[in-house]
Amino acid sequence: MDQERITLAHGAGGQKTAELIERLFARHFQNPDLTADDAAVLSLGGTKIAMTTDGFIVSPWRFPGGNIGELSICGTVNDLTCMGARPRYLTCAFQIEEGFPLRDLDAIAASMAETARACGVTIVAGDTKVAGRGQVDGCFITTTGIGELLPNIRTGGALARPGDDVLVTGDIGRHGSAILLARDSYGIEAEVTSDCAPLWPMMEHVFAALPQGDALHTLRDATRGGVGTVLYEIARESGVGIELRAEAIPCAPAVQGLTGLLGLNPLYLACEGRLVLFCAPAVTDAVLAALHETREGAGATRIGTVSAAPAGRVSLITELGTRTLLPPPTGELLPRIC
């Protein structure tokens, strides 16, 4: 460890991030409540709550379909949502670069307030730090959230079971594509907007529509590493295999075109408004019907199933009907995507 340094791969949400957490943070912070899930589930005086925190350093701070302020609320709200918790209170901490325009900060705060209102959370505390020019790039935001666990819902990355259906709540890879295009590194122009959205209203509707909440086994929002990284995490945590049908994976033509041109796999491009959902096949139709009644879940679809073996692997049934391995995440993703 003496010679090692932090590389961008440590922040990409893949293998290297997992190693860093396991070997360094978890070693120091180890306790029974420390979680590998999106949020920790805790008991406070008999009340069950979920708690999580998330930092946002996206560049550029404004992109088609959203901005860092909206993103900072969505990220934390969505993490609480994935644990089956109703998001209630948020705090936010700003690290701002000297010289950052006040009107941009105003736009960011306005978007945060609007997004928070849309999902019924209140921002109850904050912190402001300013660093010298060049010591921070623009504006970084960290949000922390507390949510109230719904009764009868128990989800987790280790709870997927053989036989489960795998659903995704809409087309994939939008956020990563929008950021790529907004950076203008490639001289490519295409109409792609970020999928950035708070998903509590969508899932609140699904939770209410389901007679048995325990038929929903795993919910996870596909952020940095995209849907592919989330599927590999769940396959490992639950000790199951996942089989996808390549033709069933929803992806907008513009995203397909962009990823084809750049040699990227849309399964590994970031989303900021999509959940991956594992449920018992008996409730798949009901879950999909409920999702389709919401704006954010209108494009929800079944993309695959869970098998007992090979554990820890994600495979694809290709358009030729053959089975291939989904190449595991490499961590060579784009830095500062969220």
Partner 1 sequence: MEQKTDTRRALAAAREIVCTYRGPRLRIMEVCGTHTHEIFRLGVRALLPETIELISGPGCPVCVTPVSFIDEACYLARECGVTLCTFGDLVRVPGSSGSLADARSRGARVQVVYTPLDAVTYATDHPEEDVVFLSVGFETTTPASALAMKRASAQSLKNFSLLTANKTMDAAYLAMHESCDAYLYPGHVCAITGARVPRALTARGISGVVAGFTASELLTALAVIVKSAGHAPFFANCYPRVVTEDGSPAAQALLHTYFTPVDAEWRGLGVLPQSGLAVAPAYAQFDARVRYRIPPQEGRSNPACRCGDILRGACTPADCPLYGKTCTPEHPVGACMVSREGTCAAWYQYRGAAPASFS
State which of residues 45, 46, 187, 211 lies at the interface with partner 1 (CB under 8 A). 187
The pair of structure tokens assigned to 66 is: 């959203």
DSSP 173: S
325 binds partner 1 (CB under 8 A): yes
C-alpha closest to that of 180 among 197, 198, 193: 193
How far apart CA 116 and CA 112 sit, in angstroms, is 6
Taking CB under 8 A as the binding criterion, the range among 39-47, 215-223, 286-294, 319-327 that sits at the site for partner 1 is: 319-327
Helix axes 253-262, 174-183, angle to 10 degrees: 60
How far apart CA 38 and CA 74 sit, in angstroms, is 13
CB of 192 to partner 1, least distance (A): 18
How far apart CA 147 and CA 83 sit, in angstroms, is 9
> CB neighbours of 151 closer than 8 A, spacing ≥ 6?
213
Closer by beta carbon to partner 1, 45 or else 187: 187
25 binds partner 1 (CB under 8 A): no
- Mark 273-312 with x for binding to partner 1 (rule: CB under 8 A) and - for no binding: -------------------------------------x--
How far apart CA 149 and CA 40 sit, in angstroms, is 11
250 binds partner 1 (CB under 8 A): no
313 binds partner 1 (CB under 8 A): yes
Closer by beta carbon to partner 1, 101 or else 327: 327
3-state class (DSSP) for residue 211: coil
Contact 283, 210 (CB under 8 A): yes
Contact 278, 180 (CB under 8 A): no
CB of 63 to partner 1, least distance (A): 20
CB of 190 to partner 1, least distance (A): 15
Closer by beta carbon to partner 1, 122 or else 324: 324
Closer by beta carbon to partner 1, 128 or else 324: 324
6 binds partner 1 (CB under 8 A): no
The amino acid at 211: P
Residues that bind partner 1 (CB under 8 A): 185-187, 263, 310, 313, 315, 318-320, 322-325, 327-328, 330
